[in-house]
């Protein structure tokens, strides 16, 4: 590769990009079970327009230069805290993604532990369900914290008793997911909160994937268990706008029950030539577009809009579940609380089925424990449901006939 000598015109660039995209998975037609989220064309467009309006502004300068972004971020946080039953004192901020939100929650929890027990002694640890997102290990590796991943209960939710047993005097954090990514089920947050209160350990709820969907599904009277600040003992909560909030990337949110805990996630520094530097995020520069677009999408949809989408998503998910269960040899590993499905088979090798789905143009989503197929459904998956189920049925039939058990695919995020 050579650095280009001369520039190219937009038309040429656009052509080259379109050409490159020909090798991409056809996400617009629901061919990927993860990475992209979609509600409807109008929501997509509102996000894009608002993003472009604040394309150049930098949310790092929101406090000093861009009152607009400051106001919009405060309003996003305010609206979300209302949704998540935040008490009067609760505080939060926007980040660039779920991993960053988790990282900052872990850091705040560690600092609280140090404030109360001192920094001396061996390594600290966090106790998380086996299904918790790898971002907890990313944070653990970076901050020298041990991560204890505890096997799940039979219903694929956090095993609260086993987690309680794993807690010791060096435990600074307990985690529950709402829902976990692998199996799509919400952990028993209320029971985890009892352990957290008894043992005086910080409880973080990772609602990255479900945070902006679960409250609306609950309003529709689906049986969604309490998972947010409504539960005493939940100290922090992460929720991604760029997932089922249907906002453009990058946009996540992180909330704390108290102002004191919020302060623990803030970085402040003075000892350099330019004076005080303070951020509530890991990153410095942040796209103004991400803040503006989230503000716009939340206000465009409102409770009414999100409830409408939630109803469609839940109806679609049920139709997928019914369709999968109608295929001889397949079964759900668990009932989805929201729109993440995970299914497998006692009769055929499900990875071999996924292999054959890949040959038909579907990017396989897989879980290795239990061995299964996995999909996070958004509205892109609605129009292709029949095609998917037909392909799935014929893939299962083929694998049953050949009896194959060695697939080329491997579970990977
Ligand atoms: C997506 C996800 C994350 C991480 O979010 P990123 O935005 O990809 O960094 C964390 N937890 C859960 C449950 C997730 O689904």
Residue 194: C-alpha distances to residues 164, 234, 235 (Å): 10, 10, 12
Backbone angles phi, psi at 278, to 5 degrees: -140, 130
Q: For residue 201, is pLDDT > 90? A: yes
| Distance, CA of 384 to CA of 272 (rounded, Å) | 56
Which ranges in 135-177 belong to alpha helices (H)?
135-143, 160-166
At 29, the pLDDT band (50, 70, 90 cuts) reads very high
Q: Is 329 exposed, middle or buried (0-12, 13-18, 19+ CB in 10 A)?
A: middle
- Mean pLDDT for 162-172 is 97
Measured from the CB, is residue 374 less than 6 Å from ligand 1? no
Token pair 């608002």 is at which residue? 50
- pLDDT digit string, tens, across residues 231-254: 999 999 999 999 999 999 999 999
Query: Helical H runs in 22-97?
Result: 41-53, 67-83
Mutating to test ligand 1, I would choose from 205, 208, 239, 246 the residue with most ligand atoms within 8 A of its C-beta, which is: 208
Does the pLDDT value for residue 76 go beyond 80? Answer: yes
Average pLDDT, the chain: 97
pLDDT of residue 121: 85
- For residue 206, the CA-to-ligand 1 centroid distance in Å is 8
Would you say residue 407 has pLDDT above 80? no
Q: Are 215 and 200 in contact (CB under 8 A)?
A: no
Pairing of strands 125-129, 171-177: parallel
Of 344 and 118, the structure prediction assigns the larger pLDDT to 344
Residue 412: band (very low, low, confident or very high) from pLDDT cuts 50, 70, 90: confident
**What confidence category does residue 322 fall into, taking pLDDT thresholds of 50, 70 and 90?**
very high
Q: How many helices (H) and strands (E) does the chain have?
A: 12, 13
CB under 8 Å to 58, separation ≥6 — which residues?
65, 66, 285, 286, 287, 288
Calpha distance 353→247 (Å, rounded): 33
Give the three-class secondary structure for 173: strand
CB burial of residue 121 (10 Å; 0-12, 13-18, 19+): exposed
pLDDT, tens digit, 9 for 90 and up, residues 270-280: 999 999 999 99
Q: Which band of pLDDT confidence, cut at 50, 70 and 90, is reported for residue 362?
A: very high
Nearest Cα neighbor of 243 from 322, 312, 317, 338 is: 338
How remote is the CA of residue 133 from the centroid of ligand 1, in Å?
7
195 lines ligand 1 (CB under 6 A): no
Please check the confidence at residue 329 and state whether its pLDDT lies above 80. Answer: yes
CA–centroid distance, 178 to ligand 1, in Å, is 11
Answer yes or no: is the C-beta of 97 below 6 A from any ligand 1 atom.
yes
Looking at the predicted structure, is the pLDDT value of residue 2 above 90? Answer: yes
Give the span between the Cα atoms of 373 and 345, in whole angstroms.
9
Residue 390: the pLDDT is 98
* pTM greater than 0.85 (yes/no): yes
Q: What is the residue with the minimal CA distance to atom 8 of ligand 1? A: 98
Mean predicted confidence (pLDDT) in 61-90 = 97
């Amino acid at each position: 590769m050579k650095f280009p000598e001369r520039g190219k015109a937009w038309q040429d660039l656009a052509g080259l990009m379109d050409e490159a995209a020909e090798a991409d998975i056809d996400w617009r037609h629901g061919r990927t079970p993860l990475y992209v989220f979609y509600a409807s064309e109008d929501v997509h467009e509102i996000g894009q327009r608002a993003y472009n309006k604040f394309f150049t502004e930098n949310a790092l300068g929101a406090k000093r230069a861009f009152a607009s972004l400051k106001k919009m971020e405060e309003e996003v946080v305010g609206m979300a805290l209302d949704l998540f039953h935040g008490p009067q004192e609760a505080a939060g901020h926007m980040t660039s993604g779920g991993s960053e939100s988790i990282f900052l929650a872990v850091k705040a929890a560690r600092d609280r532990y140090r404030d109360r027990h001192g920094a001396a002694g061996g390594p600290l640890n966090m106790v998380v369900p086996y299904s918790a997102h790898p971002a907890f290990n990313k944070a653990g590796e970076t901050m020298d914290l041990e991560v204890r991943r505890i096997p799940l209960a039979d219903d694929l939710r956090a095993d609260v008793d086993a987690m309680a047993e794993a807690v010791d005097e060096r435990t600074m954090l307990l985690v529950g997911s709402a829902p976990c990514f692998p199996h799509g089920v919400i952990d028993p947050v209320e029971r985890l909160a009892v352990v957290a209160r008894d043992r005086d350990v910080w409880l973080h709820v990772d609602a990255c994937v479900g945070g902006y969907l679960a409250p609306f599904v609950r309003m529709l009277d689906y049986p969604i268990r309490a998972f947010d600040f409504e539960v005493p003992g939940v100290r922090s909560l992460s929720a991604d706008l760029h997932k089922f909030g249907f906002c453009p990337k990058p946009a996540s949110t992180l909330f704390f029950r108290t102002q004191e805990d919020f302060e623990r996630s803030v970085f402040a520094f003075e000892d350099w030539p330019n004076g005080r530097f303070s951020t509530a995020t890991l990153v410095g520069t942040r796209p103004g577009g991400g803040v503006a677009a989230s503000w716009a999408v939340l206000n465009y949809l409102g409770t009414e809009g999100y409830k409408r989408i939630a109803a469609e998503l839940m109806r679609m998910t049920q139709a997928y579940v019914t369709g999968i269960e109608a295929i001889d040899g397949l079964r759900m590993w668990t009932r989805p609380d929201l729109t993440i499905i995970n299914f497998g088979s006692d009769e055929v090798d499900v990875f071999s089925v996924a292999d054959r789905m890949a040959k038909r143009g579907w990017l396989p989503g897989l879980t290795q424990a239990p061995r299964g197929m996995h999909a996070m459904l958004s509205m892109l998956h609605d129009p292709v449901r029949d095609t998917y189920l037909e392909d799935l049925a014929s893939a299962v039939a083929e694998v049953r006939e050949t009896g194959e058990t060695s697939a080329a695919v491997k579970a990977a995020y």
